[in-house]
């Protein structure tokens, strides 16, 4: 599908199908694989009419080798498939003011390219917040002020209002909706906002963000705060209602989940909310708006048929506790913050995307840093109802098989179906709560009746299932348990790792996913795996 296949309401395409998006394959790579050499974080971006992808960074040198600034603007050319190149444009006081220095510094949160003045050339608008910094408690835990700066010459010079546009911690993390190149010509600019802070506030100076708010402003008056309108809810037809009074606004999305509620056995932070600075992009191939967010150790994805919702949680990608491995490591595995999915890199059918995320922590020279504009592959595939032909061999080795795991310590999901039993993975950097999962997903259903599980090597600290594991299959988008026999019987203690394999047999099913799921065991509460095979054994003519 393309953008022209959908009705346009107030300058934004809307999918009349409000049912939650169902994906047969939802896969996010374990680490960045493409990057533009640079230094900095956050990197909100906008695709302009001149085909440039303009972006802004915080805390670095940007695409220059020298000259640190708290805010920088640059341009990225190229495509992930062929390589990216970043060029510096402006930095520091050239870009935006600091309203409350030195207690706060500048951080970019959103960018949009739109021809609001009708001169045939896009202007760039960049949302910038004051974020707490310095040596006092609460560094990076409070964002009380934000405004929008403007460039009429593709990022080289900038101008701003005489006063902040948003104050008192209200709507101070501003993320502009990415409708596509040049804002897809919309007469409106849409923006999402978060109160208080750009992510979980570790010192709780302000409440952790759990609500995402929504606003619009005419493209001709983005810097005129009096022309902004805020979402107050949906009417009986599912369309948005608006108000000029920011105090009367309502959230478009509320998510009160808490990820990693308890510290890891070896320490570290805990208790993170899922609403944070990221980005929202219109994906015409899927006919959905996608919001990419994050917690400290996960990426969180949401989808909606209209920019005002209804929003549904789509996927969590879990990278586990630190330490992580940098993108150049042979065992690359890391999450990252402020994730966005630039519309310039979305495939025509919408199924292949590239997630930008960045990671501040240092890494060994072998692993490299992810503190730059970096991308990883995302596959969101609704697939097909047509049943795949029966296979003679291990279905896990099919080229359209996508591994499914709750998390992997070394980032190597390929271990599940690499055909080798001498390489293992485990979930040892998990939250210590909830079930562990090892399995597969396919873009089309297929028939099978056997799963063979090979655990990892012996380990007294964990690696086995304390309860289960049970076999579940996905049919019509729902996971359901199957009655299975297992040989040899699975012992829910450390001796379970002494067996070479466990064979689970069950009545033939036709499904597009299969998984082993159960409670992790051991003092560190994790499970391990060397291989997972899927077979169709019975029922052949």
Which CATH number is 30's domain given?
A: 2.115.10.20
Listed residues 328, 359, 381: the one ending a domain: 381
Give the pLDDT of residue 3: 65
CATH of the domain at 407: 2.60.120.260
Residue 344 lies in a domain: yes
Tell me which DSSP letter residue 333 carries. Answer: B
Q: Tell whether 337 and 430 lie within a shared domain.
A: no
DSSP-assigned states of every residue in 36-86:
ES-EEEEEEEEE-TTS-EEEEEEEEEETSSS--EEEEEEEEEEETTTEEEE
Distance, in Å, from the CA atom of 129 to the CA atom of 107, rounded to the nearest integer, reads 5
Distance, in Å, from the CA atom of 153 to the CA atom of 151, rounded to the nearest integer, reads 6
Q: Tell whether 303 and 424 lie within a shared domain.
A: no
Q: What's the full length of the chain, in residues?
A: 541
Residue 2 lies in a domain: no
Residue 156 lies in a domain: yes
Peptide bond into 380 cis (omega under 30): no
Q: Tell whether 98 and 217 lie within a shared domain.
A: yes
Q: Tell whether 405 and 348 lie within a shared domain.
A: no
pTM of the predicted model over 0.85: yes
Walking along the chain (541 residues) 10 residues at a time, the average pLDDT comes out as 83 92 97 94 98 97 96 98 97 96 95 97 98 90 97 98 97 98 98 98 95 98 98 94 98 97 80 97 98 97 98 97 90 95 98 96 73 97 97 95 96 95 93 92 98 94 96 97 98 96 98 98 95 87 44
Structural domain harbouring 469: 395-535
Query: Cα dihedral angle (120, 121, 127, 128), rounded to 10 degrees?
Result: -150
* Residues 502 and 453: beta-carbon distance below 8 Å: yes
Residue 386 lies in a domain: no
Residue 5 lies in a domain: no
Residue 167 lies in a domain: yes
Q: Tell whether 70 and 108 lie within a shared domain.
A: yes
- Residue 185 neighbours by CB under 8 Å, 6+ apart: 115
Q: Tell whether 220 and 198 lie within a shared domain.
A: yes
Q: Tell whether 186 and 295 lie within a shared domain.
A: yes
Distance, in Å, from the CA atom of 447 to the CA atom of 510, rounded to the nearest integer, reads 4
Please give the C-alpha separations between residue 10 and each of 70, 122, 278, in angstroms, as whole numbers: 36, 20, 24
Q: Tell whether 344 and 285 lie within a shared domain.
A: yes
The rounded Cα 196 to chain-centroid distance in angstroms is 21
Q: Tell whether 179 and 293 lie within a shared domain.
A: yes
Give the pLDDT of residue 430: 87
Give the pLDDT of residue 1: 66
Q: Give the strand pairing for 337-340 and 8-9.
A: unpaired
* Residues 278 and 291: beta-carbon distance below 8 Å: yes
**What is the total count of domains within the chain?**
2
Q: Tell whether 126 and 96 lie within a shared domain.
A: yes
Q: Tell whether 371 and 405 lie within a shared domain.
A: no
Give the pLDDT of residue 286: 97
Distance, in Å, from the CA atom of 370 to the CA atom of 29, rounded to the nearest integer, reads 14
Residue 124 lies in a domain: yes
Residue 71 lies in a domain: yes
Distance, in Å, from the CA atom of 460 to the CA atom of 271, rounded to the nearest integer, reads 28
Q: Which among 228, 212, 384, 398 has a CA at the least distance from the CA of 310? A: 212
Give the pLDDT of residue 387: 97
């Amino acid at each position: 599908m393309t953008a022209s296949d959908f009705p346009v309401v107030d300058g934004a395409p809307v999918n009349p199908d409000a049912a939650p998006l169902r994906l047969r394959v939802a896969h996010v790579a374990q680490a960045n694989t493409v990057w533009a050499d640079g230094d900095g974080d956050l990197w909100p971006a906008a695709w302009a009419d001149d085909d440039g992808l303009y972006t802004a960074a915080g805390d670095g040198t940007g695409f220059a080798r020298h000259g640190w600034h708290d805010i920088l603007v640059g341009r990225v050319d190229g495509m992930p498939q062929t390589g990216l190149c970043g060029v510096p444009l402006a930095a520091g006081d050239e870009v935006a003011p600091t309203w409350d220095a030195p207690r706060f510094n500048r951080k970019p949160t959103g960018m949009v390219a739109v021809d609001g003045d009708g001169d045939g050339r896009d202007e760039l608008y960049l949302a910038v917040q004051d974020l707490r910094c310095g040596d006092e408690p609460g560094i990076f835990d409070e964002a009380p002020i934000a405004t929008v700066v403007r460039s009429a010459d593709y990022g080289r010079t900038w101008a701003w209002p005489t006063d902040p546009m948003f104050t008192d911690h209200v709507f101070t993390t501003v993320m502009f909706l990415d409708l596509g190149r040049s804002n897809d010509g919309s007469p409106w600019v849409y923006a999402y906002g978060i109160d208080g802070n750009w992510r979980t506030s570790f010192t709780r100076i302000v409440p952790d963000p759990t609500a995402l708010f929504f606003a619009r402003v005419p493209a001709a008056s983005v810097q005129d705060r009096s022309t902004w309108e805020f979402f107050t809810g949906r009417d009986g037809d599912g369309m948005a209602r608006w108000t000029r009074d920011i105090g009367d606004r309502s959230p478009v999305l509320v998510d009160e989940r808490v990820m990693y509620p308890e510290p890891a056995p070896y320490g570290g932070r805990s208790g993170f909310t899922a609403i944070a600075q990221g980005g929202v992009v219109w994906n015409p191939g899927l006919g959905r708006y996608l919001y990419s967010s994050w917690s400290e150790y996960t990426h969180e994805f949401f989808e909606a048929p209209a920019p005002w919702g209804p929003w549904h949680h789509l996927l969590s990608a879990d990278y586990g506790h630190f330490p992580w491995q940098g993108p150049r490591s042979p065992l690359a595995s890391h999450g990252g913050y402020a994730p966005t999915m630039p519309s310039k890199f979305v495939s025509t059918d919408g199924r292949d995307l590239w997630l930008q995320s960045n990671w501040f922590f240092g890494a060994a020279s072998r692993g490299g840093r992810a503190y730059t504009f970096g991308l990883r592959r995302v596959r969101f595939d609704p697939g097909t109802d047509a049943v795949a032909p029966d296979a003679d061999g291990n279905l896990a080795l099919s080229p359209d098989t996508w591994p499914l795991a709750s998390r992997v310590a070394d980032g190597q999901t390929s271990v599940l179906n690499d055909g080798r039993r001498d390489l293992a993975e485990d979930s040892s950097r998990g939250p210590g709560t909830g079930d562990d999962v090892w399995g597969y997903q396919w873009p089309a259903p297929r028939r099978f009746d056997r799963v063979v599980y090979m655990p990892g090597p012996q380990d007294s600290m964990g690696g086995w299932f304390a309860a289960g594991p049970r076999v579940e299959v996905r049919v019509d988008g729902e996971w359901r348990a199957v009655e299975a026999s297992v040989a040899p019987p699975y012992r829910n203690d450390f001796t379970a790792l002494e067996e070479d394999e466990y064979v689970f047999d069950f009545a033939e099913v036709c499904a597009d996913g299969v998984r082993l799921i159960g409670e992790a065991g051991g003092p560190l509460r994790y499970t391990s795996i060397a291989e997972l095979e899927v077979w169709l054994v019975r029922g052949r003519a």
